[in-house]
Amino acid sequence: MSTIFGLSHNATLLIWTLIAIIFLILLISKYKWNPFITLLLSALMLGLLAGMKPADVISSITGGLGGTLGTIAIVIGLGTMLGKMMAESGGAEQIATTLVDRFGVKRVHWAMMIVGFIVGIPVFFEVGVILMIPIIFTVARKTNMSLLQIGIPILAGLSTVHGLVPPHPAPMIAIEAFNADLGKTILYSLIVGIPTAIIAGPVFGKFIGKRIHTEPPAELAEQFSAKKNSNLPGFGITLLTILLPVILMLIGSIANIVDPDATSGFTVFSEFIGNEIIALLISVVFALFSLGFARGFTKHELSRFTSECLAPTATIILIIGGGGAFKQVLINSGVGNAIAEFATNAHINVILFAWLVAALIRVATGSATVAMTTAAGIVAPVLALTPGANIELVVLATGAGSLVLSHVNDAGFWMIKEFFNMSVAQTLKTWTVMETLLSVVGLIFILLLSTVV
């Protein structure tokens, strides 16, 4: 590969990367191209500009796509099925109703954050919002409270889990890329995520709810209030079903810490059921009985639920795969090493670097998933050259960065605007501020935690 204007090989690689990323950002944000196609084109362009052989570029793209989706596609598929069972059975509504009754009307916004946090574990953010909207409208009407005071805490809970807490697919991407420990990541994500969600959720929600008043769209409010499910599943069994994958993964991680060489059969078994795929598979099968057959659904209904919920995930899976392809070209072309060398020479804190990279891509493309997958490819080589770095906290920093400043190029922005019946200016003052709070406060807690662990 020839260098540009006599610059060093590494500097030239970095310029080509910058051009490829600008190309990626422009096509997605300005020209509204499909992110999957754009990621593949950007990967192809970067590989050829960096001087890779065409055949090597193609094998990097297919290898990166397949390698990334190996685990993630299964996690997304099973997580979506678990979320669908929760929606159809009325489990989500049961959790909300129980917590409202326990917490009381005055503290109901705290209960809403917990609901968002719990419900967000097995489902995608967008699915979680659709699942929660009837509950937000119902609780706001029952308690006569501001729609935003009820809604913002739920959105904060859902968004925190989306960016920080495994087994959600977004943090799982970074865990795979950085080879982080799953159990430690779950533990740290809860230490960081809960106080972050409190500040951006109930605290900010109460503040903004008093200043901006919105009413739910009339047709939606009518539709959701008419649809009543009086025969809800029990609170205990619903909670157990949703938290089962997390419990199984934690069992596996604890067994690995206690017996790292897996000398006993119990450790081997615990690590097996603690694998994210096995844990989610067990949980989905359990949900088919606990929230399916036990609720009186027929085998044909359960078959339909588990099939129809997969269609909307196709785009997300392909985008993640495209991000994996781009990541692999970054690594195989030598760009990863060039970035790593630059970052280590500049002595940037790797946690801050991970947050910054993910944040820049998020603001530019509007997608937390694209930000997470692309940033994982850029940060992984830097991490490899940073001895002593806490890998799990770098995973969380990447996740926190991918949440920042959601604005008009993010589908989630428009979804919240429509559901909460707000203007663009109101959505920027509420939703955008909440997402930025999550990201920045999350980073502060991650940096504080890095001084201890």
Confidence of residue 127 (pLDDT cuts 50, 70, 90): low
**Mean pLDDT over residues 181-193, rounded?**
90
The pLDDT value given to residue 62: 94
Q: What is the pLDDT of residues 9-62, one digit of tens each?
A: 888 888 888 898 888 878 877 788 888 898 899 999 999 999 999 999 999 999
Q: pLDDT digit string (tens) for 188-205?
A: 999 999 999 999 999 999
Q: Which amino acid is at 403?
A: L
Residue of higher predicted confidence among 239 and 338:
239
Which of 100 and 427 is assigned the larger pLDDT? 427
How many C-beta atoms lie closer than 10 Å to residue 285's C-beta? 13
232-241, 331-340, 437-446, range with the lowest pLDDT: 331-340
Mean pLDDT of 269-282: 89
Place of tokens 């925190």: 160
pLDDT of residue 82: 82
- The pLDDT-based confidence of 371 (bands split at 50, 70, 90) is confident
The 3-state DSSP class for residue 213 equals coil
Section 96-103 average pLDDT:
78
Q: Which residues contact 31 (CB under 8 A, 6 or more apart)?
A: none
Backbone CA torsion sign across 38, 43, 49, 52: negative
d(CA 143, CA 209): 14
pLDDT at 131: 65
Q: Is a pLDDT exceeding 70 seen at residue 407?
A: yes
Query: 371 near 49, Cβ under 8 Å?
Result: no
The tokens 């069992």 sit on which residue? 251
Q: Is the pLDDT of residue 109 over 50?
A: yes
Res 227: pLDDT: 44
Q: Return the percentage of the chain with pLDDT > 70, whole number.
A: 91
Residue 99: pLDDT over 90: no
Going along 16-86, which residue ranges are E strands? none
Residue-averaged pLDDT of the chain: 83
The pLDDT of 119-134, averaged and rounded, is 70
Per-residue pLDDT at 427:
85
Residue type, 163: G
- Give 320's pLDDT tier (boundaries 50, 70, 90): confident
- Residue 223 binned pLDDT confidence (cut-offs 50, 70, 90): low
Task: Give the mean model confidence (pLDDT) for residues 143-150.
Answer: 84
Q: How confident is the model at residue 374 (pLDDT cuts 50, 70, 90)?
A: confident
Domain extents in the chain: 9-64, 65-314, 334-451
Q: What is the pTM of this model?
A: 0.71
Residue 228 has pLDDT above 60, yes or no: no
Q: Give the pLDDT of residue 428.
A: 87
Pull the structure tokens for residue 290: 């606990």
Q: What is the mean pLDDT of residues 291-304?
A: 90
**Res 159 pLDDT > 70:** yes
CA 256 to chain CA mean position, Å: 25
- Nearest CA to 155 out of 447, 426, 417, 448 is that of 417
Assess contact for 212 and 430: CB atoms under 8 A.
yes
- Residues above pLDDT 90, as percent of the chain: 26
pLDDT above 70: residue 182: yes
Q: Over the stretch 61-79, which tens digit does the pLDDT of each residue have?
A: 999 888 878 877 887 788 7
d(CA 391, CA 374): 17
